[in-house]
Structure 1
Amino acid sequence: MKNLKIKQLFYATITALMFYSCASPIEIYEKSGHAITMKQSHILYENYNENLKPIIEKTQNSILQREGYEGTEYVLISIQQLENYIRFLKEVEKTNKGNENNKVTGIAIFLGAHDKTKTLSSMPKFNHNIKSFEEMNEKNDRLVGDMRHRETVFLAPTFRENHKDSIFTNEFQRHIPFFIEYTDQNNKYKGTYKYLLPYLRNKKTESATRSLERNSSLNADEFNIMPPRQ
């Protein structure tokens, strides 16, 4: 019986490896558990727009004494921006090769909001068919509307906390958003991975920033927020 279970496990492992080596990107996506139906998409959109968005809009109008504010509907990130960010994180991982927790395991998508004085006359160019860094770094020649307190998102990488005696109770909690505390002024992306959340939760951010003399942010923002529209 024991040998039978071992054989079954062996064949299951081989089958899984064969699937992932032979499967197309479409097959992998469809079996990933992350694909959702049009109906599920509609429910998520409706729940936000009917239950949360009106409260956000009422609060925004109250804080800034303005009328007609439209809550953020979605945040637009170009494929090129996302691919560039992932390549950057892979380079960070490579730079820290040999560290216990050097692997970048994921991207945390944080919810945030700009401050009351945020002004932005143009966004970084949406990287469609960009062929050079100079083109990518240009600004779009368009207005982007009222950015004050505008809801947005920003991205941060995660690493897996591998300590057996950690306090985490499930796998998701082990994947920690982080920044880098570096030791070499000439290589600011090589060093120790430090937990990002304690810094973000610190109310006295200016004091916290001064206490982190050698830190490198790996976060990304300034994506196209919709609305405001052109």
Structure 2
Amino acid sequence: MKTTRTLLLITIVLLTILLFKTCNKEESCNHSVLNENEVIANYKNSRHTINIGQVADLFDNYKDRFIPIIKQMQDNIDTNNGILQRDHYLPTEYSLMPLQKLKDYINFIEVLQQKNPEQIISGIAISFGAYNLTDSLNIEKESTGKRKESILNDPLKIGDYRGRLTTFMTPTYYSEKNTGYDADNHIPFYIIPNDNSDVFKGEYRSLYKYLDSIKGYASNNNKIEKEISKASFLPTFNAANAKITIQSVSSNELTDMPPRQP
């Protein structure tokens, strides 16, 4: 009897370990089940949900009013050394972010919140941007011939990306400003680390105030003398104490379409 109980206990322990390892390997092993009716009701009742007519208006307004101007501007660019001369440019129509990349970024933001519980992360700012005119025609190349991730989870940015409009993402922290404009309270940020033992733990600072300062723009948008020569999203180092002084939390995971060559 004693031997039987011992074997039973060992079996239970081994099954528990096996289940734990299986759940770690399988992303689908999630014990929290979404309430379908509640999720769909939240979507239907959201003031941000739009019908197909509103989708068509947004799409057509951009395509009719902005794409011809962008196309003309990109076709006619001629830099001093002739870096960019092209015809029949196809402007960006949408930015693609694979579902897994979106989940990964949200998980990263949740970890930031755990590391900095006193500062409330309120959302994600999706910012407009543009690639440099001197960027490579194909800004991502497979030098090894092997993909790090599948096409499904991570499509490469291949095509005419020179000067192309794009978007990038940055988490926002919440700060009550009482300006009468709700969005003012949600501020895209970077981090000033407490020390270099953990660069993602520290004080949140306004990203756009930083970008304006390094490019030399005053609050009234008039250009002033540059304080710093060039912006960088990489951490900067202080040689005196080897301390990281700034850490970006922004991401450009999106593949812009259509990046095809004519």
**TM score, norm. by length of structure 1:** 0.75
In 2 relative to 1, CA 126–44 (structure 1 residues): closer, same or farther, beyond 3 Å? farther
Which residue number corresponds to residue 159 of structure 1?
173
The structure whose RCO (Cα within 8 Å, separation 6+) is larger is: 1
* Equivalent pair of 1:178/1:194 in contact (CA under 8 Å): yes
1:42-81 → structure 2 map (5 Å cutoff) = 42-63=56-77, 64-81=84-101
Out of 202, 205, 209, the residue aligned to residue 198 of structure 1 is: 209
2:89 counterpart letter in structure 1: Y
Q: Which residues in structure 2 correspond to 1:37-186 (within 5 Å)?
A: 37-63=51-77, 64-97=84-117, 99=118, 102-119=119-136, 120-122=139-141, 125=149, 128=152, 140=156, 144-162=158-176, 166=177, 168-186=179-197
Counterparts of 2:98 and 2:59, CA distance in 1: 21
Alpha-carbon distance change, 208 to 44 in structure 1, aligned in 2, over 3 angstroms:
closer
Query: Who is 2:252 aligned against?
Result: 221
Contact map agreement 2:90 2:260 (CA 8 A) in 1: no
Instruction: State the secondary structure of the residue aligned to 1:105.
Output: strand
1:185-209 Cα offsets, whole Å, 9 max, x none, are 0100011000011122242464565
Q: Is the 8 A contact 1:80 1:127 kept in 2?
A: no
What letter is aligned with 1:223?
A: L
RMSD (CA atoms): 2.6
Q: Which runs of 4+ in 1 moved over 6 A?
A: none
Instruction: Using the aligned pairs only, state the percent identity.
Output: 34
CA positional deviation for 1:23: 5.2
Residues 43 and 22 (structure 1 numbering): CA distance in 2 closer, same or farther, change over 3 Å?
Answer: closer
Residues 81 and 127 of structure 1 are in contact (CA less than 8 Å); yes or no, is this contact kept in structure 2?
no
Name whichever structure is richer in helix by fraction: 1
**With structure 2 as the length reference, what TM-score do the two structures score?**
0.67
- State whether residues 60 and 69 of structure 1, in contact with CA within 8 Å, keep that contact through their aligned partners in structure 2: yes
Q: SS of the residue aligned with 2:189?
A: strand
Unaligned runs of 5+ in 2: 1-34, 78-83, 143-147, 216-225, 239-243
Give deviations 1:208-227, integer Å, cap 9, x for gaps.
65699611101010421111
Count of aligned residue pairs for this structure pair: 194
Q: Deviation string for 1:3-47 (max 9, x for gaps)?
A: xxxxxxxxxxxxxxxxxx995211101111111111110110000
